[in-house]
């Protein structure tokens, strides 16, 4: 049976391709009847979610691509990564066969049968000897949600383990927690049209020009002559292109937004109707009374006048103000309360539920939003809660599985999983489509933790990643372009991606790998209906019924393609009442909390977890380096075109005054050190960083040997963007 399944799973590309939007009426047309054609596919990098038009040869294989003109997200535009999205598929370091570490310590190619046997026997041993809490998966926001759901359901309901988390913890956990607490559901309210309909756009800790270039293009289409304010310690590309840059002291956000609320309440520039739709306003008002601007000048690095002026700008009566935040807020030891401070400002000024408004978080990875609804990690699949017995009954019913297979507890969070592995309580890890040996905070600890693990499986497109290189077993995965499924972008728009290339060698889509594992584990029957991504899409769709993310009105992939993607919610029968192309949440002022009201949360700012001192005098910030570099460079690093657009080795940005003071010169080799590690970089003299601060792009593996392992207490998101560091001329090394 397994042999038959394997044969079937690794068969040729048999999917019939769907024609392009211009040909919607034709429905499914077998590819072989056509001359060279195109298919549409959502980009697999950032959560902007641009649609690309992929040009195919006679064999149905992608030869080229261009941005899709009619798609409501990108309107015919794409950034360099999107244009070069096919390049990484041809890289020589693709994993083309499973690899198993042998007795000599080398990773050697094995066939799928052997790989599956090892996978199952090792995890079954762990399960038998140490119980369901002794292994965990670490996954991603970068594979279709059909695959994420399969992984999460297989691991927890099929294989019977409890713990699993994803790299979305590094990225969006703060926004998720903030929304859940404030609105009762993880519900980012905006739609991209809001960029074009705002009078004031506030970008907080968000370098849009680099990280979401096409969203910056959407701002450029705004005809209302908007005030564009960037709140970021650095004068980023985005800050320079904006109308105002607020060079906030790092982690001064919470104090600043409390002070803005103070001024707005003091001057009565509020919207009483929206305040009536909140809970906790009185306490909030009392709390911010202590935050007069003069009290926060030190924490924010801003003068009273600037704070007063900003408060006025974001509360002008009759003006539409939208707030958009990204990692400058999320990646902090107090990110949740800072995000909620932004939410509170929108609530008290009525900048929510209307065109051009909203406390909007911009998502990072192509499918981080899909992970939030369907990965079965923090939330029970389909926007449910593990702790809620009614939810468990419902999910068990729809999936046709015994309810006792669904755990009543939540998983440990990412950092807690790693801590448990350090303590020897977690013995096995299965890493899927993420590269934590490079990207996790204080990554030096992972090297030590590796020695403690009995079994490490890495499932990736490449055998060369920092994580794959130290695995016991590498499972070769197909990547974007080699498989079907759906992504959900920042504005909650669900769009499809398509297989337009055959994966190399024995590499299989994550979906197919999961099917094989389910069968080999002996729980294939539980997933007998999970035959292909679209079948799973329909199961997941049915699961969302009655939840705020209800998408029961979507027929299937062809429907999504025909509509130019569909934003959730889209309940059955809802379509006629709403325009399909753009939809924002909370237009009726009702929130999915028990009372229907939004909740207001406040905390005082905490101090930096690691203050600079004489030995480590700089404050180190990290983030994206350029629009052509993606995270750990496993994909973008393979493109010759993208390589020409950015430096190839690590650089450190430092203010000219500091360069001079330290007796260094532009271009010199320097060592950057923190209490945890040290690395070399080329010094780049940059007036864009403030004196006393330095910036490292995250794309080089040594960077996270420096970062500080502190976490937001509510979201458990790592604080990647503030720790104490020193810089020395490289010659001081020996």
Ligand X SMILES: Nc1nc2c(c(=O)[nH]1)N[C@H]1C(S)=C(S)[C@@H](COP(=O)(O)OP(=O)(O)OC[C@H]3O[C@@H](n4cnc5c(=O)[nH]c(N)nc54)[C@H](O)[C@@H]3O)O[C@H]1N2
Residues that bind ligand X (CB under 6 A): 46, 140, 142-143, 167, 170-171, 204-207, 210-212, 231-234, 236, 248, 250-251, 253, 326-328, 331, 364-365, 432-436, 438-439, 459-462, 465, 477, 479-480, 510, 621-624, 627, 629-632, 634-635, 698, 703-704, 707, 720-721
- Under 8 Å between Cβ of 68 and 76: yes
401/503 with CB nearer ligand X = 503
Q: Which two tokens stand for residue 481?
A: 């372009």
Site track for ligand SF4 across 205-244, x = CB under 6 A: -------xxx------------------------------
361/411 with CB nearer ligand X = 361
- Under 8 Å between Cβ of 30 and 44: no
Question: Least separation, in Å, of the C-beta of 75 and ligand SF4?
Answer: 11
Question: What, of Mo ion, ligand SF4, ligand X, none, does residue 689 touch, CB below 5 to 8 Å by kind?
Answer: none
221/452 with CB nearer ligand SF4 = 221
Question: Least separation, in Å, of the C-beta of 617 and ligand SF4?
Answer: 36
Question: Least separation, in Å, of the C-beta of 46 and Mo ion?
Answer: 9
Which residue blocks in 602-726 are alpha helix, DSSP H?
640-643, 656-661
Rg, Å, the chain Cα set: 25
CB atoms within 10 A of CB 36: 11
Question: Least separation, in Å, of the C-beta of 401 and ligand X?
Answer: 25
379/634 with CB nearer ligand X = 634
* Neighbouring residues of 397: CB distance < 8 A, sequence distance ≥ 6: none
Question: What, of ligand X, ligand SF4, Mo ion, none, does residue 78 touch, CB below 5 to 8 Å by kind?
Answer: ligand SF4
Question: Least separation, in Å, of the C-beta of 646 and ligand X?
Answer: 9
631 belongs to the binding site for ligand SF4 (CB under 6 A)? no
82 belongs to the binding site for ligand SF4 (CB under 6 A)? yes
- Under 8 Å between Cβ of 548 and 383: yes
78 belongs to the binding site for ligand SF4 (CB under 6 A)? yes
- Under 8 Å between Cβ of 14 and 509: no
Question: Least separation, in Å, of the C-beta of 605 and ligand SF4?
Answer: 33
Question: What, of ligand SF4, Mo ion, ligand X, none, does residue 455 touch, CB below 5 to 8 Å by kind?
Answer: none
Report how far residue 178's alpha carbon sits from residue 343's, in angstroms, rounded to the nearest whole number. 9
Question: Least separation, in Å, of the C-beta of 211 and ligand SF4?
Answer: 8
Report how far residue 292's alpha carbon sits from residue 258's, in angstroms, rounded to the nearest whole number. 9
Considering only residues 6, 38, 45, 670, which one is a binding residue for ligand SF4 as defined by CB under 6 A? 45
Considering only residues 40, 48, 459, 688, which one is a binding residue for ligand SF4 as defined by CB under 6 A? 48
706 belongs to the binding site for ligand SF4 (CB under 6 A)? no
CB atoms within 10 A of CB 692: 15
Question: What, of ligand X, ligand SF4, Mo ion, none, does residue 258 touch, CB below 5 to 8 Å by kind?
Answer: none
Residues 559-588 that bind ligand SF4 (CB under 6 A): none
Report how far residue 302's alpha carbon sits from residue 293's, in angstroms, rounded to the nearest whole number. 9
Q: Which two tokens stand for residue 249?
A: 């002291």
- Under 8 Å between Cβ of 552 and 545: yes
296/642 with CB nearer ligand SF4 = 642
499 belongs to the binding site for ligand SF4 (CB under 6 A)? no
Q: Which two tokens stand for residue 573?
A: 């029968």
Angle at which helix 2-9 crosses helix 510-521, to 10 degrees, equals 180
Question: Least separation, in Å, of the C-beta of 45 and Mo ion?
Answer: 11
Q: Is 280 left (phi over 0), alpha (psi -120 to 50) or beta?
A: left
- Under 8 Å between Cβ of 568 and 551: yes
Query: Of 22-30, 74-82, 550-558, 599-607, which segment contacts ligand SF4 by CB under 6 A?
Result: 74-82
43 belongs to the binding site for ligand SF4 (CB under 6 A)? yes
- Under 8 Å between Cβ of 672 and 620: yes
Q: Element (H or E) spanning 136, and its range?
A: strand 135-139
Question: What, of ligand SF4, ligand X, Mo ion, none, does residue 82 touch, CB below 5 to 8 Å by kind?
Answer: ligand SF4
Considering only residues 21, 49, 350, 436, which one is a binding residue for ligand SF4 as defined by CB under 6 A? 49
Q: b vs e for 156-176, b when ≥16 Cβ sit within 10 Å of the residue's Cβ?
A: bbbbebbbbbbbbbbbbbbbb
191/363 with CB nearer Mo ion = 363
CB atoms within 10 A of CB 660: 11
44/364 with CB nearer Mo ion = 364
Tokens 């299965």 sit on residue: 430
Query: Of 38-46, 244-252, 316-324, 646-654, which segment contacts ligand SF4 by CB under 6 A?
Result: 38-46
3-state DSSP of 101-121:
ECCCCCEEECCHHHHHHHHHH
Report how far residue 364's alpha carbon sits from residue 369's, in angstroms, rounded to the nearest whole number. 9
79/725 with CB nearer ligand SF4 = 79
Question: Which residues of the chain form contacts with ligand SF4 (CB under 6 A)?
Answer: 43, 45-46, 48-50, 74, 78-79, 81-82, 212-214
């Amino acid at each position: 049976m397994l042999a038959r399944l394997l044969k079937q799973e690794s068969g040729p590309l048999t999917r019939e391709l769907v024609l392009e939007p211009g040909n919607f009426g034709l429905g499914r047309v077998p590819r072989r009847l056509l001359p060279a054609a195109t298919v549409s596919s959502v980009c697999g990098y950032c959560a902007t979610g641009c649609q690309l038009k992929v040009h195919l040869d006679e064999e149905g294989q992608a030869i080229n691509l261009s941005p899709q003109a009619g798609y409501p997200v990108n309107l015919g535009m794409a950034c360099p990564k999107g244009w070069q999205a096919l390049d990484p598929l041809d890289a020589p370091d693709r994993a083309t066969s499973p690899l198993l570490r042998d007795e000599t310590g080398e990773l050697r190619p094995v066939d799928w049968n052997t790989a599956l046997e090892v996978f199952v026997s090792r995890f079954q041993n762990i399960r038998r000897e140490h119980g369901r809490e002794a292994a965990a998966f670490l996954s991603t926001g970068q594979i279709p949600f059909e695959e994420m759901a399969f992984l999460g359901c297989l691991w927890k309901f099929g294989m019977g383990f409890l713990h699993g988390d994803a790299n979305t913890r590094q990225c969006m956990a703060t926004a998720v927690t903030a929304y859940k607490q404030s609105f009762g559901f993880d519900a980012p309210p905006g739609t991209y049209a809001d960029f074009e309909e705002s009078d004031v756009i506030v970008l907080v800790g968000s370098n849009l020009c680099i990280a979401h270039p096409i969203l910056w293009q959407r701002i450029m289409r705004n005809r209302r002559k908007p005030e564009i304010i960037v709140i970021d310690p650095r004068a980023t590309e985005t800050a320079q292109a904006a109308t105002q840059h607020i060079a906030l002291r790092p982690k001064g956000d919470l104090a600043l937004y409390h002070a803005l609320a103070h001024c707005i309440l003091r001057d009565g520039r509020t919207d009483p109707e929206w305040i009536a739709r909140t809970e906790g306003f009185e306490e909030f008002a009392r709390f911010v009374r202590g935050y007069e601007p003069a009290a926060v000048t030190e924490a924010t690095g801003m003068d009273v006048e600037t704070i007063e002026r900003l408060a006025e700008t974001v509360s002008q009566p009759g003006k539409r103000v939208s707030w958009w935040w990204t990692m400058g807020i999320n990646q902090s030891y107090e990110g949740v309360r800072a995000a909620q401070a932004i939410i509170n400002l929108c609530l008290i000024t009525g900048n929510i539920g209307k065109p051009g408004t909203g406390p909007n978080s911009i998502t990072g990875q192509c499918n981080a939003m899909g992970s939030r609804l369907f990965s079965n990690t923090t939330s029970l699949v389909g926007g449910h809660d593990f702790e809620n017995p009614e939810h468990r009954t419902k999910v068990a019913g729809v999936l046709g599985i015994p309810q006792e297979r669904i755990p009543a507890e939540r998983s440990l969070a990412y950092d807690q999983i790693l801590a448990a592995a350090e303590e020897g309580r977690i013995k096995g890890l299965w890493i899927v489509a993420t590269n934590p040996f490079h990207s996790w905070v204080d990554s030096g600890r992972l090297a030590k933790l590796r020695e403690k693990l009995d079994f490490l499986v890495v499932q990736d497109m490449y055998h060369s990643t920092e994580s794959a290189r130290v695995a016991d077993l590498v499972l070769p995965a197909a990547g974007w372009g080699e498989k079907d499924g759906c992504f959900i972008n920042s504005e909650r728009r669900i769009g499809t991606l398509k297989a337009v290339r055959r994966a190399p060698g024995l590499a299989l889509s994550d979906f197919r790998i999961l099917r094989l594992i389910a069968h080999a584990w002996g729980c294939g029957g539980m997933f007998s209906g999970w035959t292909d991504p679209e079948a799973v899409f329909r199961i997941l769709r049915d699961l969302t019924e009655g939840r705020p993310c209800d998408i029961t009105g979507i027929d299937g992939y062809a429907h999504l393609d025909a509509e130019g993607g569909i934003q959730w919610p889209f309940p059955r029968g809802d379509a006629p009442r709403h325009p399909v192309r753009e939809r924002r949440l909370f237009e009726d002022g009702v929130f999915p909390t028990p009372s229907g009201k939004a909740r207001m949360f406040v905390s005082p700012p905490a101090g930096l977890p690691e203050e600079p001192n004489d030995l480590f005098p700089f404050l180190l910030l990290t983030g994206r380096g350029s629009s052509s570099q993606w995270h750990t460079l496993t994909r973008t690093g393979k493109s010759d075109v993208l390589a020409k657009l950015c430096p190839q080795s690590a650089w450190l940005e430092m203010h000219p005054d500091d360069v001079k003071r330290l007796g260094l010169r532009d271009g010199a080799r320097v060592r950057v050190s923190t209490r945890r590690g040290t690395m070399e970089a080329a010094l780049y003299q940059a007036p864009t960083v403030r004196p006393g601060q330095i910036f490292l792009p995250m794309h080089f593996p040594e960077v996270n040997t420096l970062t500080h392992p502190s976490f937001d207490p509510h979201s458990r998101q790592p604080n990647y963007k503030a720790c104490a560091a020193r810089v020395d001329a490289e010659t001081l090394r020996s």
